[in-house]
Structure 1
Amino acid sequence: MRAENAASVVDGNAAAGMLWDVFDADVTALVGVCGGCGDASPVAAAVVELDETAAIVRCRACTHTLFTVLRDGDGTRLVLGMLHEIVRP
C-alpha cells in the first residue's frame, strides 16, 4: 500500500503545472545545464520526484538536484540547486 504523501518518480513534463505557477509559461522545452556534471537536457527530460506540495527536479545524468518547486499556503516558489543555467534550445 502506498503512503498518502508518497512521491511519484516521473519526467519533467509532469511538473509543468507547478513550473507554470512560477514562470507563467511552459518551460519544459528549455534546456537546463547541470552545475554538477555539465549535462544539458530539456527540463522535460529531467527526473522529478513529485507529490502534492513539491517537485524535486534532478539531473537525469548524475541525479544532482537542479531545483525544487514548492507549493504552500503563500503560493509557489522555486529553490535553486545545481542548475547552472537554463537556455532556449
Structure 2
Amino acid sequence: MNELDGNAMAGSLREIFAVDVTAARFTCAGCGHADAVATLRLWGPAPGQVGRCPHCDDVVLRLVSAPGRVFLDLRGTVRLEVPVPVNP
C-alpha cells in the first residue's frame, strides 16, 4: 500500500458532499489536533480509504465505496468544520 495525503480522497468525498471537503477542518478524537482534511495521512485503496491524524496516527475517518452507495465513518473526529460559499 502507498501512503498519500488527504487530497487523494477528493473525488470520493465529492460524491457525498457538494463542497470540497479536503478544505474542511477536522478535530481528532484521539489527540485533539485540528487541521484540514487534506493533511490526513491516507492508506488504501482496498477495501476502502483510511485517513489518519498526521499528529498521533489515530484513524480519523474511513471511506468505503460500494455499488450505489458510499459508507463514511467519522467516529475518529470530534468535529468536521466544512467551509461553504457565502452568498452576498
Shorter-normalised TM range: 0.7 to 0.9
Partner of 2:50: 56
TM-score (norm 2): 0.83
1:19 and 2:31 matched: no
| Contact 1:22–1:77, Cα closer than 8 Å, also in 2 | no
Contact 1:15 1:50 in 2 (8 A): no
Higher strand share: 1
Deviation at 1:74, TM superposition (A): 3.2
Q: Could you give the per-residue CA deviations for residues 18-58 of structure 1, whole angstroms, max 9, x where no partner exists?
A: 11112232111111000110100100011011215411011
Structure 1 gaps of 5+ residues are 1-6
Distance (whole Å) between structure 2 residues aligned to residue 51 and residue 88 of structure 1: 24
Conserved 8 A contact 2:21-2:82: no
In 2, distance between residues paired with 1:8 and 1:16?
Answer: 17
What is aligned with 1:3? none
Following TM superposition, where does structure 1 have runs of at least 4 consecutive aligned residues deviating by more than 2 angstroms? Answer: none
Count how many residue pairs are aligned between Structure 1 and Structure 2. 83
**Amino acid aligned to 2:78:** H
Q: CA deviation at 1:82?
A: 1.3
Q: Report if aligned partners of 1:58, 1:66 keep a CA contact under 8 Å in 2.
A: yes
- 2:74 aligned residue (68, 75, 80): 80
**Uncovered stretches (5+) of structure 2, i.e. residues with no partner:** 84-88
**RMSD across aligned C-alpha pairs, in angstroms?**
1.6
What TM-score, normalized by structure 1, do the two folds share?
Answer: 0.82
For the pair 1:29 / 2:15, whether they are aligned, the reply is no
Percent identity over paired residues: 30
